[in-house]
Amino acid sequence: MKYAFLLLLFTLTSSYAQTDEEAIISLLEKESSTWRSGDIEVHASCWSIQPYSRIFVSMADGNSMDVPPEMMITPPEHMVGKGGTSKNSNYKMNISDNHAWVSHDEESTNTDGVTNYTYEMRILEKINGSWKLVGQSIHPRKME
């Protein structure tokens, strides 16, 4: 009887445990939405800036920007909180111990109804048991 109870307890608790893949997707969805909503505190909590962190952004005109990673923690007010929505899809990831890379597509629509599409590569680390972004690379894509 005692073992049956322990087995039942283990089954119930393990069915509610979030996998690393689910935790990473949840973090990326939160990071995208908090940027648009202007919730800088929660957005910053998605990140852990490391000495090797890098944010690389390609522009539609072919130029690129090497964005200071600290901008993810303390962005200028004019860059965040403009509203709109985002939808991430086509997740592909490699998780190895406490490190992961994830690529996905993002569809972002601003408050004027203009939609932009990007390919994104995200670099994450599990720090103190929680996944955090440590770097990213964003590239525009055209939709036919």
Q: How many domains does the chain have?
A: 1
Q: What is the pLDDT of residues 76-125, one digit of tens each?
A: 888 888 899 999 999 999 999 999 999 999 999 999 999 999 999 999 99
Q: Please list, in sequence order, all residues whose beta carbon lies within 8 angstroms of the beta carbon of residue 106, skipping any fewer than 6 positions away.
A: 32, 86, 87, 88, 89, 117, 118, 120
Query: For residue 123, what are the domain limits?
Result: 21-141
Per-residue model confidence (pLDDT) at position 77 = 84
Q: Assess whether pLDDT exceeds 50 at residue 3.
A: yes
Tell me if 42 is assigned to some domain.
Answer: yes
CATH assignment of the domain containing 103 = 3.10.450.50
The pLDDT tens digits for 121-141 are 999 999 999 999 999 999 999
For residue 13, pLDDT beyond 90: no
In this structure, is residue 76 part of a structural domain?
yes
Q: Confirm whether 13 is domain-assigned.
A: no
